[in-house]
Chain A
Amino acid sequence: MAIIFYISSAVAVLSTVMVITRMNAVHALLYLIVSLLSVAVIFFTLGAPFIGALEVIIYAGAIMVLFVFVMMMLNMGKKAAELESSWVNPRMYVGPAILAAILGIELVYMLASGSNRAAGFEMVGPKAVGIGLYSSYLVGLELAGMLLLAGLVGAFHLGRRDED
């Protein structure tokens, strides 16, 4: 069963190597999403399913969407259309698709065999995390909220165009 952990680790390392060696930012983003998904599967095998879900939703979802938005905003030139059609060449999907398929097979296998902590550690569920977060680490939670607000205000201030 521990083999699931090692396969996901291999996928994570391989896709991260592909991220830092790509010349094209969109291709690197595709591989980075696969890398984050494989780390999410690793969290699942480690008995941390809540964090695995957060990794998929926030990292592979929200933060990567931010990157895609900015990348599309940066290329508003005349030849943006043909540039984009060269980026989304179907051949570029093959590598990330194969790696993601490996992760999907692992996930289906884990769900089918009912072993949601394949690495052998004890499960720490969302309940324990929530209780800890809202009791011992309440100040840290408030500070994280303030940090996110500061990030929001900072990004808005930096991103606004001067009207004068």
Chain B
Amino acid sequence: MTAIPMEHGLLLAAVLFMLGLIGLLVRRNIIFMLLSIEVMLNAAGLAFVVAGARWAQAEGQIMFMFILAMAAAEVAVGLALVLLMYRKFKTLDSDQVSRMRG
């Protein structure tokens, strides 16, 4: 059984990361921005796992678990901030809350 080239896996990770980045830059709804960040983190983890599979090492999967823990903590705090923002400004548009004086 011949293995697929590692570059194809990395290319997939790069495409998913770019899609997440495009979503983050284009969308102004804060929920969609958080979703795009999830896509980007997932793509970064995919790159780690592909590289780990290429050399048959467990390190790639271990790094993915750290990314997973980081994503969980990030999304919990991020969604709490979204709730706070909606309670205070009654909007989910990130352009409406761009002034730092609040």
Interface segment, one of A90-98, A103-111, A121-129: A121-129
CB distance from B47 to the nearest CB of A (A): 11
**CB distance A124 to B38 under 8 Å?**
no
Main secondary structure of the interface of A (DSSP, over half): helix
Q: Is the CB of A47 within 8 A of B68?
A: no
Inter-chain contact count A-B, CB under 8 Å? 179
CB distance from A158 to the nearest CB of B (A): 4
Q: Are A46 and B50 in contact (CB under 8 A)?
A: yes
Q: Report A-chain residues with C-beta under 8 Å of the C-beta of B62.
A: 129, 132-133, 137, 140
Kindly list chain A residues whose C-beta atoms are within 8 Å of the C-beta of B71.
59, 63
Please report whether the interface of chain B is mostly helix, strand, loop or mixed according to DSSP. helix
For the complex, count residues of B whose C-beta is within 8 A of A: 58
Q: A66 and B79 in contact (CB under 8 A), knowing A54-B65, A120-B3, A132-B58?
A: yes
Q: Mark B1-19, 1 if CB is under 8 A from A, else 0.
A: 1111000110010011001
Q: Which size bracket describes the interface of A in this complex?
A: 35 or more
CB neighbors of B among A8-42 (8 A): 9, 12-13, 16-17, 19-20, 25, 28-29, 32, 35-36, 39, 42
| Chain A residues near B69 (CB-CB < 8 A) | 144-145, 147-148
Name the contact of A51 in the complex, choosing from B39, B57, B64, B72 (C-beta under 8 A): B64
B39 and A35 contacting across the interface, CB-CB below 8 Å:
yes
Besides the contacts A16-B19, A155-B79, what 10 more A-B pairs have beta carbons closer than 8 Å? A5-B9, A19-B23, A35-B42, A58-B72, A59-B38, A63-B38, A63-B71, A70-B83, A148-B72, A159-B80
Measured CB to CB, the residues of B under 8 A from A are: 1-4, 8-9, 12, 15-16, 19-20, 22-23, 26-27, 29, 31-32, 34-36, 38-39, 42, 46, 49-50, 52-54, 56-62, 64-66, 68-77, 79-84, 86, 92
- A-B contacts, 9 of them at CB < 8 A, read A2-B3, A42-B9, A46-B53, A58-B68, A59-B42, A67-B75, A121-B53, A144-B66, A159-B80
